[in-house]
Amino acid sequence: MTFKITVVLRVSGRIDAEHVSELRACLLRYGPNVVLDLDEVQLVDVAVVRFLARCEAEGIELRNCSRYSSPPPGRRACLPSARFGGASPSDFT
């Protein structure tokens, strides 16, 4: 019998560029079966959006994300249900 353990990291509040290294460390610590739940995230900046896009491209599941308009061809753009700190969605592509 094989078991698959999934770790759900629930993130809340505001995520800035200064938090990316800590998030990255958490993802590395828990391995490939990790899910980022962004339901309670209220504000992100451009660096975080780019980080989340890389996470998704590497196969990390992002839960409770809003899509923004005009993602690059072939990519599923995903943002937390949050306001964008000083940026518009077009800044993320």
Q: Is residue 2 part of a domain?
A: no
Tokens 């809340």 correspond to 12
pTM over 0.85: no
Q: Is residue 1 part of a domain?
A: no
Q: Is residue 18 part of a domain?
A: yes
| Amino acid occupying residue 18 | E
Q: What is the pLDDT of residues 2-61, one digit of tens each?
A: 888 899 999 999 999 999 999 999 999 987 789 999 999 988 888 998 999 899 889 899
CB 36 within 8 A of CB 63: yes
Q: Is residue 48 part of a domain?
A: yes
Q: Is residue 41 part of a domain?
A: yes
Q: Is residue 43 part of a domain?
A: yes
Question: In CATH, what number is assigned to the domain containing residue 14?
Answer: 3.30.750
Tally the domains of the chain: 1
**Residue of 69, 63, 66, 64 lying closest to 88 (CA atoms):** 69
Domain that holds residue 51: 7-92
Q: Is residue 56 part of a domain?
A: yes
